[in-house]
Structure 1
Amino acid sequence: MTSSLLFAVIASGFIYGITPGPGVLAVFGIGAARGRRAGAGFLCGHLLGDVVWCSTALVAIVGAREIGSSAFDVLGVLSALYLFWLGIRAIRTRNRSSEAPQGAARQPFWHGILFGLTNPKAYPVAVATFTALLSSRAELLTWAMLPWLIVLSFIGGLVAYAILIGIVGARQVRTVYQRHEVLITKLCGVMFIGFAINALAHALPGLMGSKTS
């Protein structure tokens, strides 16, 4: 495994974990109501869902690559379109999200597990994020690497969650986040569109080449 692939997988897990979404909004809501310890408990439970969805996404990505480069390129285009759609939605956000829980969870850890495993956005976002960041190194992906890919994405997610736990209990950070939540969401939308463009840049030439050959 090359150093660039290693970094890309860790970065994918990190970005997937730290990008504002239902899980991040939930932990800020729980942290605001019950403090850092409750937020950390929620994230520890939520991490199980992240491992499941990221592992499933990586299986799909490696499987598409092993089937053939065209299948991976198609997956790349679909992922890019999904990321672009998410980006546009985020940029058009005008009001604060209502996806944060209304009130603190009584059992943050178990609430995190249930939340992480049942989040309907988890799998498509994981596939789209990992495909966008790994598309330039698709030729390196094999089934033998899958355990390491899962471990590295887990490490990236741990780093993201450590940062979230560190800031969720800080009143100033929480206040800034809540005050500028719409702006942060819009900036994440721009980032998603950037990932979409990157995925298209690597997928479209392969598809066009296969059609002309």
Structure 2
Amino acid sequence: MNTTTLLLFSIVALVAIATPGPTVLLALANGSRYGVRRSVPGMLGAVVSDFVLVGAVALGLGALLAASEFWFSVLKWAGAVYLAWLGIRLLRSRGGFEIPAEGAAGTQHGGRAIFMKSFLVAVTNPKGYLFCSALLPQFIDPAAAQAPQYLAISLVFAGIDFSVMFAYAFIGAKAIRLLKASATRWIDRACGGALLALAGSLAFYRRANT
């Protein structure tokens, strides 16, 4: 894999990641509620899922999901239900934020929970596996060793993903400082509604669309 190929992949990945999706919406909501620093575990959860995603595609899981209606449906409904659950929780939020205590250890929403939310949202989304299984092989040189190429792609993908989520969390944190504390309620509701919409689109997603 040469530099030009990696640069082209970076551009494609940036466009795909920057388009608001579940993990990006969670980063925005986390940034508005807890600040950028406390949102980092969620970003790391998504980054870990990126390595799982690319590794799974390299091992052929994307092809398995494309061929198996059963396993595709299992992963699809697991992801849709989890997204819907998160969306409903955000819609029911009463607002309020913890930014003034950023950096303290007393938040009831620990880093582990924030990490797992983003990780599970990403790792249970079959669209990601199908998208990457169709996209990644186009940037792989079959004549060269594939493991180093997939490693390079996963590092670039994870780096871009982290940067985009950091930007969204930063926007959320800065925006909330210009508004009243109760404004987090509306940010939560907007993100919750978007997550519910994504859950609905995932529920109706079909392998034939790929």
Give the TM-score normalised by the residue count of structure 2.
Answer: 0.59
1:131 to 129, 132, 139: 129
Give the distance between the partners of 2:16 and 2:81, measured in 1 at CA. 21
1:57 to 53, 57, 65: 53
Does the 8 Å contact 2:31/2:169 carry over to 1?
Answer: no
Displacement after TM superposition at 1:180 (Å): 3.6
**1:25-40 matched pairs, under 5 angstroms:** 25=26, 28=29, 31-32=32-33, 38-40=34-36
Give the distance between the partners of 1:170 and 1:190, measured in 2 at CA. 28
Give the distance between the partners of 1:118 and 1:29, measured in 2 at CA. 11
Residue type of the partner of 1:97?
I
**1:133-152 matched pairs, under 5 angstroms:** 133-137=131-135, 139-140=137-138, 141=140, 142-152=146-156
1:73 to 63, 79, 90: 63
| Deviation string, structure 1 residues 5-35 (Cα, Å, up to 9, x no partner) | 44444455556xx5346x9558736733xxx
Question: In the alignment, which residue of structure 1 is the partner of 2:166?
Answer: 161
1:188 to 178, 182, 198: 198
Q: 1:117 to 1:200 in 2, by over 3 A?
A: same
Question: In the alignment, which residue of structure 2 is the partner of 1:207?
Answer: none
Does the 8 Å contact 1:77/1:200 carry over to 2?
Answer: no
| Percent identical residues | 11
Residue type of the partner of 1:124?
V
**2:134 aligns to what SS in structure 1?**
helix
CA RMSD of aligned residues (A): 4.4
Q: 1:94 to 1:151 in 2, by over 3 A?
A: closer
Q: 1:7 to 1:162 in 2, by over 3 A?
A: same
Q: 1:95 to 1:26 in 2, by over 3 A?
A: closer
**2:156 aligns to what SS in structure 1?**
helix
2:40 paired with 1:44: yes
| Deviation string, structure 1 residues 72-92 (Cα, Å, up to 9, x no partner) | 42133567535642675489x
Question: In the alignment, which residue of structure 2 is the partner of 1:208?
Answer: none
Does the 8 Å contact 2:31/2:170 carry over to 1?
Answer: no
2:183 paired with 1:178: no
Unaligned 5+ segments in structure 2 are 141-145
2:85 paired with 1:85: no
Give the TM-score normalised by the residue count of structure 1.
Answer: 0.58
Does the 8 Å contact 1:10/1:155 carry over to 2?
Answer: no
- Range moving further from structure 2, 167-176 or 52-61: 167-176
**1:98 aligns to what SS in structure 2?**
helix
